[in-house]
Amino acid sequence: MVNGEANFWDQSIWSFVTVLAVLFGAMIVMNALRRNLPFLRKSLIPSSVLAGFGVLIAGAVWKRLTGKPMLSTTTLEALTYHGLGLGFVALSLRSTEKQKGRQARRDIFNTSTVVVSTYLLQGIVGLALTLALFYAIKSFAAAGMLLPMGYGQGPGQAYTWGKNFSDLGFENGISYGLSVAACGFISASAGGVIYLGRIRRKKNVRRVENAEEIERLTAETITAPGEIPLSESVDKLTVQFALVFIAYGIAYLLMYLVHTLCSGIKFYDNTVRPLMWGFNFLVGTAVAIGLKSVLNLLMRKNIMKRAYTNNFMLNRISGTMFDLMVAASIAAIDLGAFSHKEFVLPLTLTCAVGAAATYLYCKWTCARLFGSYEDEAFLALYGMLTGTASTGVILLREIDPSFETPASSNLVYQNLWSIIMGFPMLLLMGYVAKSLAWSWATLGIMLMLEALMLALMFRGKLKQLFGKGVSKQEGK
């Protein structure tokens, strides 16, 4: 850099491109290995997760040899943070059909109650363990609340709240949150393999080896009548990216406006600010839904002649954002944090107990709520509640390759209910790490919320709570 001006050969000009090249390259390599190595394919670990671990190991070797980091940690963390928001915006812009039928609506609502109650269970288990460890080894008392963020919410929220907790005194909080998310993917794969092995022995379910067996793309799948053409004065994919980034940019402007107006107010600085910036994906989702409503209104008024959104391309954008988020989040873990017992012991205990609790709880609830497709519901929910929605879909495809059961659509349509019912717990994230008293209070509040969710889940069906569950015929 000369006279404050960047040169084309400056490292800062190429840093972002280098990080993307390494992450995408690692995903291509790991995907090839996964397709050709049976033990990797059978593990069901997504290629993006393998890529993240590959870059993490390569980065550790590089740093030992050169003394310098291989990739910019700031860039990796930014990709993790924004990947979640951009992915949710892309999903929210899609056109969705309203689910019809009383049973379909009931299953969607039941799915959301399982999701939120599992978040609460993970929070209760994690926080109870780290509170006990606080008195034993003086570890960070509120660290256990990163379990539902890493397992239930995924790497984006694990990073966000790990950073917020680090600002409140949790040393290595970012690496802790990202490590929880990484352990979640391992738990999803291990639990999925165990469950699939059990049902295959009982039901002789055929394994799906290749994506070609399940993808049945048609022209209608890729583009719908009345949409803008694939290539005109501006490419159709460019339009999709434009809508995603416009919505996300508006979300940023709204958050920045609130930040500018409220900065300096104690309640805002201590409580609202971390919540608002931590839930950037919720603000982005709300803006995207609003933008989609405006576009639909313009279509109905015949002001806009053609539809600008395309579900196929928006799905691909969200998939790319989530893959980047996952790979970047694992690559951003600081392995130096594993030298501290205050880091390793809580992480190991909460992740192991959290995985077991999530597995058993999902198995118990799915048997009682989704009678005719309890196996499919379990794999979809357990995969999502330890990894991401994509992980749930990967597990589900093993026994339901054509998505013939409602399990996959339940994952899509449950989001709104989950946001509404899960908001009290998300609100607690802004308080739990403030003091030891708040940690204990949060544990008590979550226990009451869990009881409420169970009552809502088994409304009018108390016999199901400890019985065998709904009949196969009733679940159809």
Q: Which domain holds residue 253?
A: 84-95+104-458
Q: Percentage helix, strand, coil, to 5, in the chain?
A: 75, 0, 25
28 domain-assigned: no
Alpha carbon 370 to chain centroid, angstroms? 23
Q: Is residue 465 part of a domain?
A: no
Average pLDDT of the segment spanning 229-238: 82
The answer to the question of residue 208 being in a domain is yes
Number of Cβ atoms within 10 Å of the Cβ of 266: 7
Inter-CA distances, 199 with 193, 269, 378, Å? 10, 51, 12
15 part of a folded domain: no
In whole angstroms, give the CA distance from residue 45 to residue 38.
12
Residues 271, 431 contacting (CB under 8 angstroms) = yes
Residue 208 has what pLDDT? 54
Q: What is the pLDDT of residue 291?
A: 94
- The pLDDT tens digits of the residues spanning 254-280 come to 999 999 998 888 777 777 788 888 888
Tell me if 11 is assigned to some domain. no
Cα–Cα distance, 385 to 154 (Å, whole number): 8
- For 247, the token pair is 């919505």
pLDDT tens for 276-313 read 888 888 899 889 999 999 998 998 888 888 888 888 89
- Tell me whether residue 36 is in a domain: no
Query: Is 90 exposed, middle or buried (CB count within 10 Å of its CB: 0-12, 13-18, 19+)?
Result: buried
Quick check: is 16 in a domain? no
Segment 336-352 shows an average pLDDT of: 88
Domain count within the chain:
1
Q: Nearest CA to 75 among 159, 167, 199?
A: 159
Is residue 406 a part of any domain in this protein? yes
Give pTM, 2 decimals. 0.82
